[in-house]
Structure 1
Amino acid sequence: MPDPAPEPRRATDAPPRRLLRDFLRPSRGQFVAGVALFLTALIVVLTLRSQANQPEFANVRQADLIQLLDNVTAETRRLEEEVRTLEQAQSELLSGVDRDEAARQEAERRLEQAQIIAGTVAVSGPGVRLEIQDPGARVSAELLLDAVEELRDAGAEVIELNDSVRLVMSSWFGTDDSGRLTADGVALEAPYVIEAIGDPATLEAGARFRGGLVSEVEGERVGGRVQITQLDEVSITTVVEPEDNEFATPR
């Protein structure tokens, strides 16, 4: 009886040498596909590296960059003036001439600054008045807090809200039981009016910076409006009553 014919060899039964030869000598289609994949990967890597190396403000509009530069310039001038004042005070205190008088004047200056920061005295000076219209009642406590922080970053020295709340370092925002916004526990009604003392142009630029107060209020989420007025003199009369110390006593 003749032996049965051997089964035909399947493609998967190719010897390892043939597989190695196919790998080292790819067909024209495989070669083209490999080159295309390599170029695609190279483009992706170069794009990611280019984006990572771009400066932080590469995509910011020119007008916004100018506003930012103005803010930095104004803050630099303010700090330079503060440095000159401190150097002059140091020189007077060390010179030995009218040392007592110089020390007294420096103490009075520091006391005045402390009172202004604490909000215990009325003040006036150049600044801005911001009126925030909120027809849809969509202005949140977080938005008002961000607005105050932006003004402080722009150099605001004193801030008052709705002619009734003097904002200091310990101020806070929230809502009452009826859903109205509050500042330091005082209920606020729209329109919200913020008065700030500082360089008027710099304060307005800080409020109008893209992504800032004006953009947030006048955007679709809030749908309000902000009117900013630069003033030669802003008078802030609201003061904070200092609390009695519970543990500390003067010596």
Structure 2
Amino acid sequence: MTGNENEREDGPANGRPDADGRPAEPPGLRGLAGLLRPRVSRGQLAGGLLSLLLGFAVVVQVESTERDTTFATARQDELVGILSDLGQRSERLRGDVRELERTKAELERDAEGETALEEARERAATYGLLAGTLPAEGPGIEMVISDPGGGVKAINLLDALEELRDAGAEVIQVDDVRAGVDTHFLDGPRGIRADGELLTAPYRFLAIGDPHTMTTALNIPGGLVKTLQGTGAAVLINPRAKVTVGAIRSP
């Protein structure tokens, strides 16, 4: 063995002081220290941070639950009393609901009954007007037919009635006779009869409806007025804002 080899054996590898005068660390110790030194990766850091946050959230949730649980520390007898009170209140509320539902049903029945009654009244009034069993009033006209020469016949008065109906007259009265769907005129030895009642000139028609429409229809060229004038009669038509028909027919 040469002198250089002796120096390598006696150098730092054998635990002798290094150039700075400090004792050299044996090779075995250096390897053991490397194994014991903690090694932390980024994934481990992220996992640790996530665990920390999760733990914090669990603690917060537990504390919140404890604050919101009002009856957590109540005694059993207190809880029984609270439940009993809540049950009584619930039953009272259910009773109030049932009462309100009954009241609602009664009001609905009353409303339906009132509506049905009103509709029945309106229908009865309409039928009464059409049948002539009820008096009526409204805008319309008064038509007076003077017949100094006696040339007006039953057919002329029937034409007058039909013309008024065609012009929209809803209610018609001839002298004291309420016109109906079966009203008829007959010539007799003493004059013209309407539904058996004797009429006397001047013949007076009262008609409820649109005054302008009826007046226009009666005065059309070649219409009723012109025809009556051809018999020697004179026709006077007066539109009115209110016409009262008081004659009624027997039911």
CA shift, 1:140, in A, is 1.1
Partner of 1:174: 186
**1:229 maps to 2:238:** yes
TM-score using structure 2 length: 0.55
Q: Structure 1, unaligned stretches of length 5 or more?
A: 1-94, 243-251
Please give the per-residue CA displacement for 1:16-54, whole angstroms capped at 9, x wherever unaligned: xxxxxxxxxxxxxxxxxxxxxxxxxxxxxxxxxxxxxxx
Larger radius of gyration: 2
Partner amino acid, structure 2, of 1:150: E
Which residue of 221, 226, 233 corresponds with 1:215?
226
User: What is the distance in 1 between the residues matched to 2:159 and 2:111?
Assistant: 46
Please give the per-residue CA displacement for 1:120-151, whole angstroms capped at 9, x wherever unaligned: 11111110000111111111111111110110
Which residue of 187, 207, 213 corresponds with 1:196?
207
CA shift, 1:97, in A, is 9.8
Partner amino acid, structure 1, of 2:218: A
Matches within 5 A, 1:104-115: 104-115=117-128
Could you say which structure has the greater relative contact order, defined with CA pairs below 8 angstroms and 6 or more residues apart? 1
Which residue of 161, 164, 172 corresponds with 2:174?
161
CA shift, 1:179, in A, is 4.4
Contact 1:116 1:123 in 2 (8 A): yes
Between Structure 1 and Structure 2, the one with more helix by share is: 2
Give secondary structure in 2 for the equivalent of 1:205.
helix
TM-score using structure 1 length: 0.55
Quick one: percent identity of the two aligned structures?
40
Partner amino acid, structure 2, of 1:147: A
100-109 or 147-156, which deviates more: 100-109
CA shift, 1:210, in A, is 2.0
Q: Structure 2, unaligned stretches of length 5 or more?
A: 1-107
Partner of 1:54: none
Partner amino acid, structure 2, of 1:130: M
Matches within 5 A, 1:118-197: 118-162=131-175, 164-176=176-188, 178-197=189-208
Please give the per-residue CA displacement for 1:191-220, whole angstroms capped at 9, x wherever unaligned: 11101000111111111122221010112x
User: What is the distance in 1 between the residues matched to 2:111 and 2:208?
Assistant: 34
CA shift, 1:233, in A, is 0.7
Matches within 5 A, 1:33-52: none
CA shift, 1:99, in A, is 2.8
Contact 1:158 1:196 in 2 (8 A): yes
Matches within 5 A, 1:79-98: 98=111
User: What is the distance in 2 between the residues matched to 1:119 and 1:97?
Assistant: 32
RMSD: 1.7
Please give the per-residue CA displacement for 1:154-184, whole angstroms capped at 9, x wherever unaligned: 110110111x1000101110022x2410101
Please give the per-residue CA displacement for 1:72-118, whole angstroms capped at 9, x wherever unaligned: xxxxxxxxxxxxxxxxxxxxxxx999333222211111100001111
